[in-house]
Amino acid sequence: MVKNTEINLSTVSRDLKKSPSDAVVIGVGQGTDGPVLLDNPLTAKSAEALTDSLKALGITGAADQVVRLPGLPETGAGILVLAGVGKVQAGKPLAAESLRRAAGSAVRQLAGLATVALAFPTASVADVEAVAEGAALGAYSFTEFRSAKDGLKDPVANALIFTDVVEQKELGTALKRAGLVAKAVNATRSLVNTPPSHLYPESFAEAAKDLAKGLPVKVTVWDEKRLEKEGFGGIMGVGKGSTRQPRLVKVEYSPAKAASSIALVGKGITFDTGGISIKPALGMGDMKSDMAGAAVVLNTVLAIAGLGLPVKATAWLCIAENMPSGAASRPADVLTMFGGKTVEVLNTDAEGRLVMADGIVAASREYPDAIIDVATLTGAQLIALGNRTAGVMGSDTITGALKSAADRAGELVWPMPLPEELRPTLDSQVADLANIGERHGGMMTAAVFLREFVGQDKQGEQIPWAHIDIAGPSFNNGSPYGYTHKQGTGCTVRTLVAYVEDILAAA
């Protein structure tokens, strides 16, 4: 169901003529005194002439600036591309994210070319990996529902990365990781971009099975009959208003010598009308993206399995379609969640926390070392942190580690508190708690609700837990930038993979 665009990644030495391409990309930075041509494989004479022409050509080195020039005979390519990397400081190496974004931006904007050579400064294997990952993320395309492809450009198919570290033995592993992680991000993007006419609970479950083929993972699907029988009141309560019945999907990777275990719970509302508490029509089409959290946790576990990391990783995809009908949940209904807690539904548009609660309880019963849930949960996240920064809340031991992992991965997250005064606002007159509380700080109130469903470990302590609200950064309604395309972004996959790697490194 999910067709992924994948780029071929390879490295070559600095001899450009031995590796012909359609375009050679070199970097330009924004220095304190104007544009700066970065380290490149051009001859000294060509580099000097180009440096003298930068200002006249209007080249600033700003991030996302991509300028095409006629190729030079020494490059073996018909096009020479100058790609901005943003601000640079003399004597300081480029940050990995600057390389990642510049490579991704160049590859994205050079769609239509078959082979692109990327000649950014790469003094280490980590630098090469950043360029490779950026290129693979930039080479994304989603054209599944076009009847004609006239005027559409195919993404770049091959990226050649010029570097002096081609002899490093870790290089092959780094390229493999870059490709696998980008594949997971791009699969997440495609799931998010798929229209709700084609992606609904049953088809989402089938897509999970398809994506898992060939990997050492086990996929288990709960249909509506099993969900009803086993008491998943949150998922059933949200999904019963739709003719497309809900699903719970468990994707489990259990290597023989796992050093630790992690459960990832994802919100999978394949379309959110708001239910009886219906949303305004303006912008409702974006609600096809309300399943991004489930897509993230699915593809994170598949990436972990593909990389062969020694950690048990389980994804719980809580999938439903939130529709208004004669069968839909009403405001004032009381639902009995998986595990027995009761929730008064005061607003049917606060549905994500209901399906997530069931998933968190199910995950808790397997006593993982940590639970992380990912959801497009609240509009309050956008108000608090904007369109590109996810909010992370929960146990300090996890939120701090997630922030560090996000920094390393090049993604934006920000830790937020869980004020205790928010819990009483969730009190209900008729049930254990209500599904909405204090409106101000609504992102944090929603997290406080979810915390109520996190179980205890075998010692009787609450399982370490974190909640990531990706309502804003999961879907890009603005212009493309860096390696980020319009619509689904695939955010948080890279952060979660880095988080698992950091856990293993610390162990």
The answer to whether 213 is annotated as binding is no
Distance between CA 408 and CA 390 in Å, rounded?
Answer: 15
User: Is position 353 annotated as part of the catalytic site?
Assistant: yes
Nearest to 186 by CA among 137, 153, 129, 251: 137
Tokens for 209, please give them.
């099975």
Distance between CA 377 and CA 372 in Å, rounded?
Answer: 14
Long-range contact set of residues 35-44: C-beta below 8 Å, sequence gap at least 24: 35/59, 35/60, 35/61, 36/61, 36/88, 38/85, 38/88, 38/94, 38/120, 38/121, 39/121, 40/119, 40/121, 41/14, 41/15, 41/16, 41/119, 41/162, 42/72, 42/74, 42/75, 43/74
Distance between CA 118 and CA 105 in Å, rounded?
Answer: 11
Out of 176, 279, 341, 486, which one is annotated catalytic? 279
Out of 108, 250, 312, 353, which one is annotated catalytic? 353
The answer to whether 438 is annotated as binding is no
Work out the number of other CB atoms within 10 angstroms of the CB of residue 366. Answer: 16
Task: Give the phi and the psi of residue 55 in degrees, each rounded to 5.
Answer: -65, -40
Q: C-alpha distances in angstroms, 501 versus 75, 225, 260, 377?
A: 38, 38, 11, 26
Nearest to 286 by CA among 443, 473, 484, 475: 475
Tokens for 294, please give them.
């489930």
Q: How far is CA 346 from the centre of its chain?
A: 31
Helix/strand/coil percentages in the chain, nearest 5: 35, 20, 40
Nearest to 359 by CA among 316, 295, 301: 316
Alpha helices in 198-279 (DSSP H): 201-212, 224-230, 233-239
The answer to whether 267 is annotated as binding is yes
Tell me the chain's radius of gyration from C-alpha atoms: 24
Instruction: Report yes or no: 134 and 41 within 8 Å, Cβ to Cβ.
Output: no
Q: Which amino acid is at 98?
A: S
Distance between CA 117 and CA 158 in Å, rounded?
Answer: 8
The answer to whether 229 is annotated as binding is no
The answer to whether 64 is annotated as binding is no
Work out the number of other CB atoms within 10 angstroms of the CB of residue 384. Answer: 18
Binding site listing: 267, 272, 290, 349, 351
Active site residues: 279, 353
Binding site listing for Mn(2+): 267, 272, 290, 349, 351
